[in-house]
A and B are shown apart, each in its own frame.
Chain A
Amino acid sequence: MLELIDVTKVYRGGKRAVDTMTMRLGPGMLGLLGPNGAGKSSLMRIAATITRPTSGKVLFDGVDVVARPDALRRHLGYLPQDFGAHPNLTAREFLSYLAAAKGMSARSSKARIGELLELVNLTEAAKRPLGGYSGGMLRRVGIAQALLADPRVIIVDEPTAGLDPQERVRFRTMLADLAADRVVMLSTHIVSDIESVASDIAVVAGGRLLRRGTPDELLHMARGRVWDLLVSPAEADAVRMGYVVSRMVRTAEGVRLRVISDAPPSPGAVPAAPDLEDVYLGLVQPAPAPSRAMGGLR
């Protein structure tokens, strides 16, 4: 349905934000994971026809949307990472304006806006000017606008930023529901957001696609590479300097560490079941260079 083929984006100044990335997306949810500056937002903007790629193609149902962006825009719900709204309009007026911009008829947009405001729990605040909304409320307006035209493709960039835990859970449930028969592309660096809903995960860093697969496939990749160990505080520093450490808890007995490594970091290390955070760190974070401290641990 949506294909990104050899997409590259080079910004002024030569920064290569996206580097020959290819992805084919059908119904379901693709979770994009990556550190800050990995190129996630650039990729999302390219997929949402906001930014023209330096090279490569973006096809929607076979149509080149770099040349004909409206072919996708009519079926697209896009929630950017940062956005504002006309501060003097109410949420209902703002959504009504955007519905008109989508080309929706007055009757259907009125009914749908009411339903969407209820969905994002803003019915009570619908008549207040958006200038008085908090960041979380504005985010919910953004979610509502993305769903205005019942889109076939939904692209959401860091959608849960600013939402309280209850709203986050509701939003994730809704995304999972939407992904049943639509393309949903979700970008975040909150691993738990992706872990709970995405059936397909892509890890990107430095503008390149590092790995793509189902959560099980990615977890399988990290099996046998995650270790738990209990060390003294002095040894903990040495471990942190020599290995990728995904968790560290100070306890009365010492420091409990979770380490990602091909080999056991110390004789006392025990294998642990990997989770997606381990997979992610193992992929994007290079292991520190062996240091003198490592020698001390061994």
Chain B
Amino acid sequence: MTALRIRGGQVHDPANNVDGEVRDVCVQDGQVVAEVGPNARQIDASGMVVMPGGVDIHAHIAGPKVNAARKLSPDERRDDPLDRTELLRSGTGGLVPSTFATGYRYSLLGYTTVVEAAAPPLAARHVLSELRDTPMIDKAFLILMGNNQVLFELIRESGGAVSPRLRDAVAWWLEATGGYGVKLVNPGGVELWKQSNGHIDSLDDEVAGFGVTPRQVLEAIGGAVHELGLPHPVHVHANNLGLAGNADTTLDTMRTLAGRQAHFAHLQFHSYGGKPGGQPRSRAPELLEFLNRHPEITADVGQVMFGPAVTTTADAQVSARLRDLTNGKWINHDTEVETGCGIVPYTYKAGNYVHALQWGIGLELFLLGQDPWQVMLSTDHPNGGSFLSYPKLIRLLMDRAYREDQMGRANQRAIRHTALPDGLDREYTLNEIAIITRAAPARRLGLRDKGHLGIGADADVTIYHDRADREEMFATPRYVIKGGELAVEDGDLRRADDGLLLSSHAAFDPDVSRVLAPLFEERYTVAFEHYPVRDPVLREPARVVEAAG
């Protein structure tokens, strides 16, 4: 492997308290090292900005839901082809790119690790197959557990407490699927919607037929993840996404999980005041205040960007609402025992009150938050916009004049309902950008080798020209080093790399199979013995992160 000295760059490595120091970064055998020999290749990074490779903690890039979104929108990728080369596979782009295009474009953006944030466990083979075809980046996926009927049975059995049996079942599921972490989407609510187009009003509503409540699901599965010591805490998509007044639900969910580690996905979509059915208002400041008092809870923002998006979610009732709102394309897919799925193409319009409010709330979360380690960058790709819009979002955060210009183009009534016009003059520093795009996500994911440039870290490094136009700067890294090898130079991919699958492992009592097998027999149409993914071709190359518990 290459020995490499990245010489004289302005290094931003917040995990190691390095904030813009001019120094060398040395790389050998895929890791950051203290020194390399005189014959090491050199990259002159003087005048450039050096950061760890980007880490996306929440995106939707692979699996049946994402693939259904591709099937739904051939028209929108027709004009965005990707030609094959001697090195690269062809593909198509658009908001939901083909797998190869996804890997290449993340790499060209300086990202080296991406988490698929919502995978049905039953479809793990499909997810893994797609991830194998997503090159250049290391990737992990979170498995959906918030509406799993088998887990509901175990939670009811334990009276909502974390039982050893439940803990074992969660660990078993991770082992069976190759998943990295646990995701709860609208806990209990998706099952209710599949039952009767119903929904959750309160965390104490009972999920009909199962004798459990969303609060019990949060406490029991969140508690199991916590007790297992999984590298990433429970990742929560709270109930009532997108509804006016949902901040009450979000705060209740946060209070329920307080004291345990938890990560809240796309918080922007859960920060609305107002009355149900009415026009939303921002309650982002209240949520931030809660976060300030609870460092054990983190969030990614789920910023919406004006323009086209594709809403792809396991929260199928949200999609049904958007279907009725847009009268446009709509896919629904119900997955037995485990989850739902909905897809609706959607356009966020600057002149629309709700869309402009969503945009403003996202910026509030970024700009009013006190601790960038707690509030991370995401657009919930492709729900709030493509990951390709990250550079523009970074410019919005770093460039007040640009932000104000963009605010001026948005629905003014909505903007007035946010804190943005109140002299919110904060501009993110490069170090803060490094925190919200790599250091904090890596730390929150429990990826100790990523998101920093300390000795022994993965040699995933992104080098940018230090341009005044931050959008241009972050859209076109000068170099991307992945695993110690030069992956991108001047906007061109220099090598094809498969990337690693990241999965986690926690010990469990194998006798849990005796508990699960009859429940599977009762509920699934797949035999219990055929459910776990054992195929080496799907699970390798992998890096397994052990639980701390």
To the question of whether A and B form a pair in one complex, the answer is no
